[in-house]
Chain A
Amino acid sequence: MKVDTRLLDRVSSGPEFDAKLCLNCGTCTALCPLGLEILPRKIFHHVLLGDKERLLAEENAIFSCLLCRMCEVNCPGGVHIAENVRALRVYLNEEIHGLAEV
């Protein structure tokens, strides 16, 4: 795996990204209407590890999230999951969708 040492910084430069508060309990995935493995075993983990390739491969999952916050209101770690998902969207929009310009 190629490590992108700037990945976490890039993702954190937009909306709040506090995935490091995650306790790895799996409540979010269990409650998600889509069963998204948003946290922690997959997508957010890729960011914390600097695994850009795996992160980009999750584009569909990242844009599938309803931002419904069923996970968030039940998260024992107090992770702002919906904002984290938005942070990833902002990053992907800049990085691969060519939608960065202001």
Chain B
Amino acid sequence: MPVPIASTLGILSDNLRKRRSALPLSRRARTGWARGLALPHGGETVIYTGQMWQMVPSINAMAHQLGKYENSSSGSLFRFARSMNKLVNLTPFLARVSAKDRAFYDERLRNIARLLQNAGVPFGYLYEDDLYTGALAYDEGLDPAFVRHAQYVYSVLKARGVRRLITVDPHTTNMLRTVYPKVVKGFDLEVRSYLEVLDARHPKAQKKLDVQATYHDSCLYARAEGVVEPPRRLLAGAGLRMVEPELSGKLTFCCGGPLETLFPGKSADIARQRIEQLRSVDHRVITACPLCFANLSRAAPKDTEIRDISDYLSEAYAATPA
């Protein structure tokens, strides 16, 4: 039996309506990553996190909890959780995040910001107004709550005078670039992933990395957003020798991440299959999505080294500060 679908989706929908997030996080958890980077407040071009990287430590902690319930009949517990969650935000209780996990994911965002700074890209950050896009609610078919949320997010971006968004993960990129224009009337913002922004500048590596690795394409980047070549060009420019798994680019194989909320067991099965495919070409795996990273990392044997693409890129392209 999966976790109870109706109650779990109910919590998600309530959180989005009441707290404007799938997993409502503290201000520090949302914006703490930017401390010390001196990012200007707002502007016409902003880095847009959509809180995805910040949410993953909570998702990790929550997945651990939910995993315990996948095969039990815990329907009444979930129904109770949903009614409680309407009154108090349960996220901090359900998902106890270690400071180490939080710092680790924050560091990936700092990598990305430093890469953009080093490449001479002018950008600001919206801090409190950098809102979650509602990606999970959209995927789960919670359209009434999602559409209202998307319209709200857009109104905030317009009020802040934003014109261009630089996204840092595939889910936020897909939401803002492909889904929002379908549900938000008049949507006119330019949306590009930081990988596309960096690639377009043809950066020169300051340090060449002598490493062989394989790249796991995220389904959304590869199949929905056409982001296939930019990461490969950037990695090759950084000196990496890339080896391709059989299923790559547009034919990539999912990491299983999307099933984590409702079917954690199946999610882990898919992740193990993907890890095997990747390991058959190299034990060094590079991801470009916080959810792929988390899901594959959980499934990987110890001798597999999974790192986010921003780690390699900052070593090569942002070796010395801007």
How far apart are the CA atoms of A30 and B6 in the complex, in Å? 29
**Is A5 close to B, CB under 8 A?**
no
How far apart are the CA atoms of A101 and B86 in the complex, in Å? 15
A34 touches B9 (CB 8 A): no
A34 touches B266 (CB 8 A): yes
**Is A64 close to B, CB under 8 A?**
yes
Residue among A15, A59, A87 making CB contact with B5, cutoff 8 Å = A59
A67 touches B139 (CB 8 A): yes
| List of B residues within 8 angstroms of A33 by Cβ | 253-254, 256, 270, 273
Closest CB of chain A to B136's CB: distance in Å?
A: 11
| List of A residues within 8 angstroms of B140 by Cβ | 63, 89, 93
The digit string for A58-90, where 1 denotes a CB below 8 A from any CB of B, is: 011001101111101100000000000011111
**8 Å CB interface, B165-205 against A:** none
| List of B residues within 8 angstroms of A96 by Cβ | 6
B9 touches A97 (CB 8 A): yes
How far apart are the CA atoms of A68 and B259 in the complex, in Å? 11
**8 Å CB interface, B52-68 against A:** none
Residue among B10, B219, B223, B266 making CB contact with A99, cutoff 8 Å = B10
**Is B262 close to A, CB under 8 A?**
yes
B139 touches A99 (CB 8 A): no
A63 touches B262 (CB 8 A): yes
Closest CB of chain B to A11's CB: distance in Å?
A: 11
Q: Which of B22-30, B89-97, B99-107, B142-150 contacts A (4 or more CB under 8 A)?
A: B142-150
| List of B residues within 8 angstroms of A89 by Cβ | 140-141
| List of A residues within 8 angstroms of B256 by Cβ | 33, 66
B10 touches A102 (CB 8 A): no
A93 touches B263 (CB 8 A): no
Given A69-B219, A69-B223, verify A64-B266 contact (CB < 8 Å): yes
How far apart are the CA atoms of A73 and B253 in the complex, in Å? 12
**8 Å CB interface, B260-294 against A:** 262-263, 266, 270, 273
**Is B42 close to A, CB under 8 A?**
no
**Is B156 close to A, CB under 8 A?**
no
| List of A residues within 8 angstroms of B319 by Cβ | none
B219 touches A66 (CB 8 A): yes
Residue among A14, A69, A72 making CB contact with B143, cutoff 8 Å = A14
How far apart are the CA atoms of A73 and B10 in the complex, in Å? 31
A15 touches B258 (CB 8 A): no
B144 touches A101 (CB 8 A): yes
How far apart are the CA atoms of A90 and B273 in the complex, in Å? 30
**Is B250 close to A, CB under 8 A?**
yes
**Is B2 close to A, CB under 8 A?**
yes
| List of A residues within 8 angstroms of B13 by Cβ | 99
B254 touches A99 (CB 8 A): no
Given A60-B2, A73-B251, A100-B144, verify A67-B273 contact (CB < 8 Å): no
Given A64-B259, A67-B258, A69-B219, verify A90-B141 contact (CB < 8 Å): yes
Residue among B9, B144, B254 making CB contact with A70, cutoff 8 Å = B254
Most buried by B among A70, A93, A100: A93
| List of B residues within 8 angstroms of A98 by Cβ | 6, 10
A99 touches B142 (CB 8 A): yes
A99 touches B253 (CB 8 A): no
Closest CB of chain B to A2's CB: distance in Å?
A: 23
Residue among B9, B251, B254, B270 making CB contact with A93, cutoff 8 Å = B9
| List of A residues within 8 angstroms of B5 by Cβ | 59-60, 63, 97
Residue among A66, A90, A99, A102 making CB contact with B6, cutoff 8 Å = A99
A73 touches B270 (CB 8 A): no
How far apart are the CA atoms of A67 and B218 in the complex, in Å? 12
B2 touches A68 (CB 8 A): no
Known: A60-B2, A98-B6. 4 other contacts (CB 8 A): A33-B256, A68-B219, A69-B223, A97-B5
Q: Give 10 pairs: A residue, B residue, CB < 8 Å, sorted on A.
A: A63-B263, A67-B219, A68-B223, A68-B253, A68-B258, A70-B253, A86-B141, A89-B141, A93-B141, A93-B142
